[in-house]
Amino acid sequence: MTISYTTASWNPLVGCRPFSWGCLHCYAARQAGTRLAHLPAYQGLVRNVGAGEQPYGVRYAFDGSCRVLQDRLDAPLQATRPQRYFVCSTSDVFYEGFEDHVRDQLLARMLLTPWHTYLITTKRPALARGYLSDPHLLGRLVVCARSIRADRPNLPTAIGEPGSALPPWIWMGVSVEDDAAWRARVPILEAIGATRKWVSLSPLLELPRDRLKWSFAQWVVIEGESGPSARPYDLSWGDVILDECRRLGIPAYHKQVGSNPRDDVREQAGQITHPSGADVSEWPEDLRVRQMPEWYASPHSPACARKSRKNPSLQEPK
C-alpha cells in the first residue's frame, strides 16, 4: 500500500509486537491477518485476538514473529526513478526482534541511493538512538556497502556525512499517539543524530499536553485512526496542532481524520462519510492542510544525486 505522502513503500521487514496503546488497531497486523494472509511472507505473523479478549473489538495482533524478505532488500537499487519511500510500513525498523546486522543492510542501501528519499518512523526511539550512536556502525556499513557495490560499480563511493549518522535524504521520525508517548519519544528523537526529523501523530488518540519542545521537528503528519472499531479522533486536536505548526513555521500534513471523527464544537463530524476519513473535501476548511517541506523533492536523476550529495570524506578506504 502506498501512503499518500510517498510514492512507494519499501517493506523488506515484516512482523512486530504490540508496543503501546497506539498498536491496538495496527493496520499492518490487520492486513497480515486478512487480505495478505494468503502470501507466504505474512503467514504466521499474527494471532486472532477475538472480539471479546480486548477492548474495541480487536481481531488481529502481531505475535512477535518477524522475518526478513531477502527478495525485497534491493528494491531501491532496482528502481529506475527516484522514489519517496516509507520504510517498513508493515513493521518497525527498530523492533527488538531484528538484529543490528539486518538494520545495517537496510541503512547501507539507503546511504548508497541518495536519489531516493526515505521516511523512517518508530515507536522505539531509544533503540534507534543506541543503534545510530554505536561507534562500530560506520565500520559495519562500509563492509555492507562493499558487498552491495560488488555488482553495482556505479553506486556512490560515499556512505554518509561527517557529524550526522543520517544524511538529508533519510528522515528519522517517531510515531506518537498520546501525551505519554509524546513525553517519552519526542525528546529522544531530538537527541538522535539525523539531519531531517519528523513527528507522525498516528493514530492521534489524545492531544499531547507537553508540546513546548518540538520546534526542532521539520515536518509533522497528523491522522486519526481508521479501520473497524476505530477510536475517536477529535477534530479540535487537528486545529490545535496545525495552529502550533503555523506558529513555529513547521510544515504540517493532515493525512486523514479516521473512521471515527468527533466534533463537539462545529458538529461537522457527521458529514464525513469516507470510510477512513481521508476525503479532504469533507473536512472543515481549516483542517485541509497538506504541506510538504520545501526540501522534500528528490533529485531528478541518480547522476544528479551522486554529484550533489557525494561526500569524499567518508569514502571507503582503497
- Helix or strand run (H / E) with residue 212: none
Which of helix, strand or coil describes residue 252?
A: strand
Question: Minimum mean pLDDT among 51-65, 66-80, 136-150, 222-236: which range?
Answer: 51-65
Assess whether pLDDT exceeds 70 at residue 303. no
Assess whether pLDDT exceeds 90 at residue 108. yes
**How confident is residue 302, by pLDDT bands cut at 50, 70 and 90?**
very low
Pairwise CA distance, residues 172 & 231, whole Å: 27
Write out pLDDT tens, residues 252-293.
999 999 999 999 777 778 789 898 899 999 999 999 999 999
**Where do the domains of the chain lie?**
8-13+66-219+292-314, 17-65
Per-residue confidence (pLDDT) for residue 161, from 0 to 100: 54
Higher pLDDT, residue 201 or 50: 201
- Helix or strand run (H / E) with residue 28: helix 27-33
Per-residue confidence (pLDDT) for residue 296, from 0 to 100: 67
Tally of CA atoms within 13 A in the half-sphere of 70 that contains its CB = 0
Per-residue confidence (pLDDT) for residue 51, from 0 to 100: 56
Per-residue confidence (pLDDT) for residue 267, from 0 to 100: 74
Beta-strand pair 220-223/252-256? parallel
C-alpha R_g of the chain: 20
Per-residue confidence (pLDDT) for residue 309, from 0 to 100: 42
In the block, cell 529506475 appears at: 80
Q: Which one-letter DSSP state was computed for residue 5?
A: T
Cα angle at 162 between 157 and 165, to 5 degrees? 90
What value does the mean pLDDT take over residues 246-253? 94
**How confident is residue 301, by pLDDT bands cut at 50, 70 and 90?**
very low
Per-residue confidence (pLDDT) for residue 306, from 0 to 100: 44
In the block, cell 563511493 appears at: 157
Q: In Å, how far are 14, 29, 61, 208, 227 from 44, measured between CA atoms? A: 11, 11, 11, 35, 22
Write out pLDDT tens, residues 148-193.
999 898 888 877 654 567 999 999 999 999 999 999 999 999 999 9
Pairwise CA distance, residues 122 & 19, whole Å: 10
**Burial bucket for residue 248 (CB in 10 Å: 0-12, 13-18, 19+):** middle
**Mean pLDDT of the residues in the chain:** 87
In the block, cell 543524530 appears at: 193
Residue 317 neighbours by CB under 8 Å, 6+ apart: none
Tally of CA atoms within 13 A in the half-sphere of 38 that contains its CB = 1
Write out pLDDT tens, residues 306-318.
443 443 333 443 3
